[in-house]
Amino acid sequence: MIEIKGVSKKFDKYLAIDNISINIVEGIVFGLLGTNGAGKSTMLRMMSGVYKPTKGNIIIDGQDVYDNPEAKKLLFFVPDEPYYIQGGTPGDMANYYMTVYENFDKEYFFQMLEKFGLDSKRPMKTFSKGMKRQLSILLGLAAKTKYLLCDETFDGLDPVMRQAVKTLFAAELSERDFTPIIASHNLRELEDICDNVGLLHKGNIVMSQEMDMLKCNLHKLQVVLKNEADEERLYKTFDVVAGEKHGSLITLTINGNRSCIERLIADYDTVYAEVLPISLEEIFISEAKGVGYDVKKLILD
């Protein structure tokens, strides 16, 4: 487990991370979401032991990670701009990481290179951004560490490659003790892969919760009423987080389970009524309401 205990990080007078406390349990995919400048990269660098917290501690499996080689052996950090040996090839990178990670699986790495169509002998300076991103992820998986910390993992990958990487993550989760932590500014990248998500805003965790719980407790109701006079009563009947109306169609985001919503809307005389699943974007819009967080600023590819 990764324990983040009262962690803050200052750069001169700028407070990048402000008193964050959160636990990341093992065997899940944890998504750390936030716009550029929210503090995601700083948080990952502290979790990987690159930065020392100004205040607080980050504990990985009972060990403080900063300045602790034994704790760092448990993790592999894929930064937004990965490091490569000057003039090196993927094969050179594999040889380097074999000296750092005792469980580095060279056979697995070269098999994955072939499947992804990456030449192990080709200089990496000739690789595109997407190819470099693929290579960094494959190196991280081949290291066979318990924790894989990824900063903007899918940035620069086409949709096919994004799905391929997600499939590899799922395979590792099923086969060994593996916990990926993925930071991203893109909600849609993580919606179908994360078990838990945390929303980071101005250096603070606004929300951290299981995806299943989030989607269980929030739903979207679309309804067309026969009697428009019932609209005011509708807002009193349900725990409405957000609502809008286009013509005669009313769309409400509601706190509550599906069966309860369906039972209550059955008491209304409607032309049309349907309870729909809610997207991660809609969840964050409702959860972040009142803290000044504009989810619409998130890039949605």
pLDDT digits 0-9 by tens, 144-199: 999 999 998 887 788 888 889 999 999 999 999 999 999 988 777 777 788 888 88
Tell me which residue of 274, 267, 269 sits closest to 223, measured CA to CA: 274
Tokens read off for 252: 């409400």
Q: Which two tokens stand for residue 275?
A: 């309870």
Q: Which of these ranges, 100-114, 142-156, 181-195, 257-271, has the smallest mean pLDDT?
A: 181-195
| Average confidence (pLDDT) over 238-260 | 87
Is 133 exposed, middle or buried (CB count within 10 Å of its CB: 0-12, 13-18, 19+)? buried
Distance of alpha carbon 116 from alpha carbon 6, whole angstroms: 41
Beta bridge partner(s), residue 24: 2
- Report whether 89 contacts 121 (CB < 8 A): yes
Question: Cα separation of 223 and 286, whole Å?
Answer: 19
**Domains of the chain, earliest start first:** 2-202 (3.40.50.300), 216-297 (3.30.70)
Q: What is the pLDDT of residue 188?
A: 72
pLDDT exceeds cutoff 70 at 107: yes
Q: What percent of the chain has pLDDT over 70?
A: 91
Judged on CB neighbours under 10 Å (0-12, 13-18, 19+), 65 is buried
Helix 129-142 crosses helix 106-115 at what angle (to 10 degrees)?
150
pLDDT surpasses 70 at 299: no
Query: How many angstroms separate the CA atoms of 113 and 89, rounded?
Result: 12
Task: Check pLDDT > 50 for residue 298.
Answer: no
